[in-house]
Structure 1
């Protein structure tokens, strides 16, 4: 009886051990297949991209910082404030050029600094045009000098748009190099061994494009906004010069209008 129980126990142990050895590789494979599902979104979409993702992340941070700076800096009150434009227009209509220069010099806006730089070129000995060509040349010189500084943070956004896809391409190349290196070592195209390198290649390309597209849109948005603000300042300055010319040459303008035409 005892011998039968011993034989049955031995057969049970052998059967259990055999079943365990056969099923162990399958369980391990299932565990490895389930492991990627346990990854967090941060690991799955960012950290698996490798070291290149750090540089792309720096480009994203730079883009956000530059966008915030440009949103704060490129505003109408900092370029062509309505109160300053109205006050300068009042001075110019009444030909109070010195008062207009003093007011413009005391204001930090683009319009104020431009008028303080250009109005001293008014030539009272030329009542027919008040030396308009000299005033416009001074305005153009001031604008050229200022635009170099104002366009710098906007151009850096363009730099981010150009660098991001290049970093993505770099990550793609690194991932493919590592994948072929794995193939040369293992000698077989095992998807499980190549998955990490393929993730690097695809994720860096993905995030490079995700970064570059909004950077490109933001670059043209801020560039056009800056050009429009500067154009508003120039139009306001032209209106002021025209107002002074009409005041100085009021009688001459009226003399050109035939009798019977309302002014």
Structure 2
């Protein structure tokens, strides 16, 4: 008889969980009271864990707005600055190009103001391209870290939201088992509130994590694209100046046309 009781006690938690999971959809699908709003039914009934999930949602919105404003072409490689710098570099007005770049707050302006002083006029064949490119790389490493920090915070939200949902799920199941221990029987009506907490926190955790993951990769790719655009512009500026300095040598390599 003792062995039979032990066997039944071992099977009890599994039976309780199965009963709770099978009856949860039906319980949650029941019509709410007339005075129960959607906010109460789908948010507030999730318990105090919803406060942290709500903070995660607000953080996602704030970070997305900030990155939308910060990661723009006007703040990285504006067309007017590229055209003005190209005019200076084509005419070998390096000092004027440095002054213009230093006065512009964009990524490209600050990058060129940092790297153009490394031009070596004693090397007309490439104007010290390797030193310029090293300076561009150093600037990009330091500057990208700052911009990427705000993008990485979105990744943090994407990773934290499911964990918060799981935390709420565990709390709901603990409450369900506490109710079961007090009542002494698996009454689905008494378990409905705790099961609702478990399911709502899981739902909102996933609803926060999925958009966060999409936003993270979107802004990460956008940042990489803007930085690459700045690097291509810098390469064009250096090539324009080198070609102007070595214009005679370039023309000497062009074969004459054949008269028809």
1:218 aligns with 2:215: yes
Query: Structure 1, residues 172-231: CA drift from partner, whole Å, max 9, x if none?
Result: 011111111111111111111101100010000000000001111011111111111111
Q: What root-mean-square deviation, in Å, do the aligned CA atoms of Structure 1 and Structure 2 show?
A: 1.4
1:127 aligns with 2:124: yes
Shift of 1:68: 0.6
What residue number does 1:78 align with?
75
What residue number does 2:57 align with?
60
Shift of 1:34: 6.6
Q: How many residues align?
A: 230
Q: Of 98, 102, 119, which residue of structure 2 is paired with 1:101? A: 98
1:149 aligns with 2:159: no
How far apart, CA to CA, are the structure 1 residues paired with 2:165 and 2:72?
A: 34
1:228 aligns with 2:202: no
How far apart, CA to CA, are the structure 2 residues paired with 1:92 and 1:35?
A: 71
Shift of 1:251: 1.1
Instruction: Output aligned runs, 1:1-263, within 5 Å.
Output: 36=33, 38-260=35-257
Unpaired runs of 5+ in structure 2? Answer: 1-29
Shift of 1:39: 1.5
How far apart, CA to CA, are the structure 1 residues paired with 2:31 and 2:171?
A: 27
* Cα distance change on mapping 1:260 and 1:40 into 2, 3 Å: same
Query: Structure 1, residues 104-155: CA drift from partner, whole Å, max 9, x if none?
Result: 0000000000000000000000001100000000000000000110011111
Q: TM-score, normalised by structure 2?
A: 0.86
Shift of 1:234: 0.6
Shift of 1:253: 1.2
How far apart, CA to CA, are the structure 1 residues paired with 2:102 and 2:32?
A: 68
Q: TM-score, normalised by structure 1?
A: 0.85
What residue number does 2:10 align with?
none
Q: For the pair shown, which has the larger CA radius of gyration, 1 or 2?
A: 1
Greater Cα offset, 248-257 or 126-135: 248-257
